[in-house]
Amino acid sequence: MLDSSKPEYPPLPLIQTWIWMMTQSGNPEIQEKGQSNLIASFGSLAKANEYLIEQDKNK
C-alpha cells in the first residue's frame, strides 16, 4: 500500500525550471508563472525552499 502521508512533489528538474523562471527569466509574466507553479505544488515558497534544501542534503 502507498504511504499517503508523504506528499508527492514534481520532479526536481521541473522545480529547478520554475525557480529559473521566477529568478532569471527577466519577464514578469514568466516570473509570476514560475512562482505560482511552486506555490501550487508546495503551498508556499518557504516549503519549496525547505524541500530543495532537503534534496541537497540527500545528494
Q: Tens of pLDDT along 25-53? A: 999 999 999 999 999 999 999 999 999 99
- Cell numbers of 53, please? 534544501
* 46-51-57-58 Cα dihedral, nearest 10 degrees: 180
Q: Give, as one character, the DSSP assignment of residue 59.
A: -
pTM over 0.95: no
**Predicted pLDDT of residue 7:** 77
> Who wins on pLDDT, 12 or 2?
12
Residue 18, in any domain of the structure: yes
Residue 34, in any domain of the structure: yes
Percent of the chain with pLDDT over 70: 90
Give φ, ψ of 10 to 5 degrees: -65, 165
Residue 20, in any domain of the structure: yes
Residue 2, in any domain of the structure: no
Residue 1, in any domain of the structure: no
Owning domain of residue 45: 12-57
Residue 35, in any domain of the structure: yes
Give start and end residues of each alpha helix (H) in 1-59. Answer: 12-24, 28-42, 45-57
Average pLDDT, the chain: 91
Count up the domains in the chain and report the number: 1
